[in-house]
Amino acid sequence: MADIALEGKSGKVVIKNIGLLLSGNIDQPILEADTIVIFDGIIQAVGKFKDVDTSSAKTTIDVHQTCVAPGLIDSHVHPVFGDWTPRQNQIGWIESTMHGGVTTMVSAGEVHLPGRPKDIVGLKALAITAQRTYDNFRPNGVKVLAGAPIIEKGMVESDFKELAESGVKLLGEVGLGSVKAGNEAREMVAWARKYGIQSTIHTGGPSIPGSGLIDKDVILEADADIIGHINGGHTSLPEKDVCELCEKSSRAIEIVHNGNEKVAIAAAQAAIQLKCPHRVILGTDGPAGSGVQPLGMLRLISLISSMGSIPAELVFCFATGNTAKLRQINAGLIEVGRSADFVFMDRAQHTSGKTLLESVQLGDIPGIGMVMIDGIIRCGRSRNTPPATQIPEVIGH
């Protein structure tokens, strides 16, 4: 079950009777549409049922007036090989996370590999191997964008060129290797950028024995594309430094579940006050010392919306479209031409919130009724979330 054939195509799929359509687009988080038409995994049309061509569908799904949103994108994970994590010696964590609504994960470095090579040839070989293996292996359809080398002292421009030409598109967290000084990091981040490799920098105190402190001055000087776990992973910089980073840098503000929750709220609110909510992206930083959290993304959305008093429909954009745009991922938005990767949700049974969005703003997490990746149903009612009040129904094959 874990390895769904990549060849399988969805054919024509119609999703109808949508009660709430979250777009993932921070400029217009809710769409006035009740139907999505998909062909072979790609969104073909979004609109009112009467206005779109729903004829001769291979699969029709009646959502029963519940919510459809883009599948969640976890901007910060640490995969290693397959659906196994040595961090907690657990198998099936990616497949289980799909039951938490995650359809794409982005590696911030395969750092948990036992005996991880730190020499330059070895770290490049690992990155290329990780990129290839996850390109070929998608646990229950989840897209894992991996192959994120941890940069070390001694790397030169041609190393970045070689990585890029080999298919590597990401740097692992800058600061987890021997490059910890701002000026050194800045040079390598710029080489990476020159060859189309996106960079993320570790922010805050050491995560585990062996890693170190990266403070705000190093982050500003390095100028990586993403201020990784701005709320610490787990130990945070002082709240005032985090707010200063939001203000002085124009780079992505990444907030993670395995970080300081108080500072998570402060960073999200700072972005709203600075009128740059499009910069906020969410991740888990899992697997982590505190475990594997299949509901980490949903818990973080609910935390930021409830404690930060930010409308839930905006926070869902932090976890979907914002990340897709900043990372050039062809999912995360309900838009013609994007991948049909969706999470179907309803208010959890017996939440005090009267609607899905209200329940999230009150601090509850939604119930998931279905997850779809590339137009293919990957699970029905989630085994991990509290039960959704109403779930979608497949009414025609």
Q: Contact positions toward Zn ion, by CB under 5 A?
A: 173, 202, 207, 233
Burial of 282 (0-12, 13-18, 19+ CB in 10 A): buried
Compute the least distance from the CB of residue 76 to Zn ion, in Å: 8
Sign of the C-alpha dihedral, residues 327, 332, 335, 341?
positive
Residue 184 or 285 with smaller CB distance to Zn ion: 285
Residue 61 or 108 with smaller CB distance to Zn ion: 108
Residue 199 or 207 with smaller CB distance to Zn ion: 207
Closest CA to 357 of 30, 13, 6, 5: 30
Residue 106 or 343 with smaller CB distance to Zn ion: 106
Residue 179 or 373 with smaller CB distance to Zn ion: 179
Long-range contacts of 324-327, Cβ-Cβ distance < 8 Å, separation of 24 or more: 324/24, 324/70, 324/73, 325/278, 326/225, 326/226, 326/252, 326/279, 326/281, 327/73, 327/75, 327/106, 327/145, 327/198, 327/281
Do residues 276 and 322 lie in contact, with contact meaning Cβ atoms separated by under 8 Å? no
Do residues 105 and 286 lie in contact, with contact meaning Cβ atoms separated by under 8 Å? no
Compute the least distance from the CB of residue 133 to Zn ion, in Å: 22
Compute the least distance from the CB of residue 42 to Zn ion, in Å: 34
100, two tokens: 């938490």
Cα end-to-end span (Å), the chain = 21
Residue 202 or 279 with smaller CB distance to Zn ion: 202
Compute the least distance from the CB of residue 105 to Zn ion, in Å: 15
Residue 74 or 173 with smaller CB distance to Zn ion: 173
Beta strands, E only, 241-363: 252-256, 280-283, 342-346
Residue 205 or 311 with smaller CB distance to Zn ion: 205
Compute the least distance from the CB of residue 159 to Zn ion, in Å: 22
Please give the C-alpha separations between residue 300 and each of 74, 142, 156, 235, in angstroms, as whole numbers.
11, 20, 38, 17
Q: What is d(CA 143, CA 329) in angstroms, rounded to the nearest whole number?
A: 10
Closest CA to 228 of 82, 157, 249: 249
SS3 355: coil
Name 353's Cβ contacts closer than 8 Å, sequence gap at least 6.
347, 359, 360, 361, 362, 364
Instruction: Tell me how far the alpha carbon of residue 239 is from its chain's centroid.
Output: 24
Residue 44 or 207 with smaller CB distance to Zn ion: 207
Compute the least distance from the CB of residue 212 to Zn ion, in Å: 10
Do residues 77 and 110 lie in contact, with contact meaning Cβ atoms separated by under 8 Å? no
DSSP annotation of 278 reads G
Instruction: Tell me how far the alpha carbon of residue 392 is from its chain's centroid.
Output: 24
Compute the least distance from the CB of residue 197 to Zn ion, in Å: 18
Name 363's Cβ contacts closer than 8 Å, sequence gap at least 6.
302, 303, 306, 307
